[in-house]
Structure 1
Amino acid sequence: MTIDLARQKRRKGSMNSRSRKLMLSPVQNLYETCSEVFADGKAGYVPPPKDIKRLRSVLDNLKPENVGLSADMPYFSATGSDEVPPPVTYLHIYECDKFSIGIFCLPPSGVIPLHNHPGMTVFSKLLFGSMHIKSYDWVADVPCSSNQNTHHEDLAAPQHEPRLAKVHADSDLTAPCKTSVLYPNAGGNMHCFTALTPCAMLDVLGPPYSDDEGRHCTYYNDFPYATFSGDTGSLQAEEMQGCGWLKETEKPESFVVVGAMYRGPQIVEN
């Protein structure tokens, strides 16, 4: 009798939990799922596959209206020129020391330059629009030397040796599409976005950037493999296909991010 009563209580508790999940707003559900998935999160942490799948499922079902967005908002109006890309708007939704949630709003031709995500697992959901994405992963610490192409002004500063990286993705992405995931050492940890149409990208970073903890956002210029020569060691010729060199650079002056108030459903912290 006691065992049956305990089973009934567990079943009732499970039903109450499922009912509550159904009543949550999509944004609150995202927050609570992130809180569970990144509960033990720290730099370099990769959630187990079942948690990756669970969080991807929540993001896959997220729609622009769930976060109070539509393509006719002023964030998405083209205001740049052929020489200077338009500003990008960032909507901050939530941040703690375990994870952050935010949305990048890009007008047509808006660019988020090539940058890294040190020690992070990142979920990116394109809410609407089309963009081009190019991403890289490090191949190895391959020493290099500049060849005849060292007249590039970009090679002068800052003084960091280029590192060999392999292209992970170089393609267009159009909503609706599946949520992409990048990892600390795989999945395209360094990436850049160029908006082909007005578009909005929701990012979950686990953990978020932190200067205090050494997780700085580093920007890069990318160069074709032939730009430099280097000792590729045990790497075979076929492994060099799709490779390029990434060299650290300062944040581009043309990259302007404007903060704006998030006006979608609010998150209630647990």
Structure 2
Amino acid sequence: MPRDNMASLIQRVAKQARITFRGPAPGPGFGENLHRLQQLLNEVRAEDLHLVPRGPAAVPGAGCSRAGAVAGAVPPVSYMHICETESFSMGVFLLRSGACIPLHDHPGMNGMLKVLYGSLRVACLDPLPPAAPPGARRRALLRSRQLCTPASPPCLLSPHTDNLHQIDAVDGPAAFLDILAPPYDPENGRDCHYYRLLEAPAGPAADPHALPREVWLVETPQAADFWCGGEPYPGPKVSP
């Protein structure tokens, strides 16, 4: 059962997100507000949003956002929209067992990810200069690969650090609460781009598992086997 104060916790998260991202970052008080938001987000559990962990094959979609997805097929990932303002968006991603959100970026955006149930493998990368034209290889730094569970603190990304990441469900279905600030907006240069990781040639003494390490990336179209469905958010109402 949800804890007694949980009807208001997700509302408090939304309110703190609005305060944190109300102006350009970093700005006066941004670090303190971000820390407070991280503390609140760390308290959120699946039951607080009326979510029940699902079986290996259960993530019923209410439609597919990707053109060409097979009609009636269950999407590998579903999204529950909670709220959105000009400064941030918040929702829940649900991944089927074995599902992957491919390597992608968040141009000019801050983000926070908190696992609600299941386990996620999150790989984070930073692009390295110089920038490359579409279709060309570009250098990047593979900073970390970490296993995240509901006991883990929120994962943070900024416009310059850990801005590219890949998210894989490990050993079963998983769900995470997601905050992006500001939201994606292609008309203002904040569109999602997908990448494929190409390991950089390593010297004979190099450890292929050592992190961080330099790799190569190439921008790719959205994978044919990845699309995101939608379903209703069942938790407490939020008014940001």
TM class by shorter chain equals: 0.7 to 0.9
CA RMSD of aligned residues (A): 2.8
1:195 aligns with 2:169: yes
Per mean C-alpha deviation after superposition, the further-off stretch among 122-131 and 167-176 is: 167-176
Please give the per-residue CA displacement for 1:138-180, whole angstroms capped at 9, x wherever unaligned: 122177xxxxxxxxxxxxxx95211100011113222211011
Structure that is richer in helix per residue: 1
Q: In structure 1, which of residues 36, 43, 63 is the aligned counterpart of residue 19 of structure 2?
A: 36
1:32 CA drift (Å): 0.8
1:136 aligns with 2:125: yes
- Which residue does the alignment assign to 2:116? 127
Counterpart CA distance in 1 for 2:146 and 2:212 is 17
Distance 1:203 1:251, change over 3 A: same
* Paired amino acid for 2:215: G
Calculate the TM-score normalised by the size of structure 2. 0.81
Counterpart CA distance in 2 for 1:73 and 1:50 is 39
Q: Is the 8 A contact 1:219 1:251 kept in 2?
A: yes
- Which residue does the alignment assign to 1:170? 145
CA radius of gyration, larger in: 1
Distance 1:91 1:23, change over 3 A: closer
Q: Is the 8 A contact 1:75 1:106 kept in 2?
A: no
Q: Is the 8 A contact 2:83 2:239 kept in 1?
A: no
* Paired amino acid for 2:158: Y
1:212 CA drift (Å): 1.3
- Which residue does the alignment assign to 1:153? none
Q: Is the 8 A contact 1:86 1:109 kept in 2?
A: no
Q: What residue ranges of structure 2 are gaps of 5+ in the alignment?
A: 61-73, 203-210
Q: Is the 8 A contact 1:167 1:243 kept in 2?
A: yes
Distance 1:223 1:213, change over 3 A: same
- Which residue does the alignment assign to 2:38? 56
Please give the per-residue CA displacement for 1:23-64, whole angstroms capped at 9, x wherever unaligned: 9611111111111111114xxx34621111100001000111
Q: Is the 8 A contact 1:120 1:208 kept in 2?
A: yes
Q: Is the 8 A contact 1:75 1:105 kept in 2?
A: no
Calculate the TM-score normalised by the size of structure 1. 0.73
- Which residue does the alignment assign to 2:208? none
- Which residue does the alignment assign to 1:149? none
Please give the per-residue CA displacement for 1:197-240, whole angstroms capped at 9, x wherever unaligned: 2111111101010011110000001101129xxxxxxxxxxxx9
* Paired amino acid for 2:50: G
Distance 1:50 1:226, change over 3 A: same
- The total of aligned residue pairs comes to 215
1:268 CA drift (Å): 2.7
- Which residue does the alignment assign to 2:67? none
- Which residue does the alignment assign to 2:227? 256
Percent identity among equivalent residues? 31
Q: Is the 8 A contact 2:59 2:77 kept in 1?
A: no
1:65 aligns with 2:43: no
Per mean C-alpha deviation after superposition, the further-off stretch among 62-71 and 171-180 is: 171-180
Please give the per-residue CA displacement for 1:68-102, whole angstroms capped at 9, x wherever unaligned: 11103798459xxxxxx961010000111100001
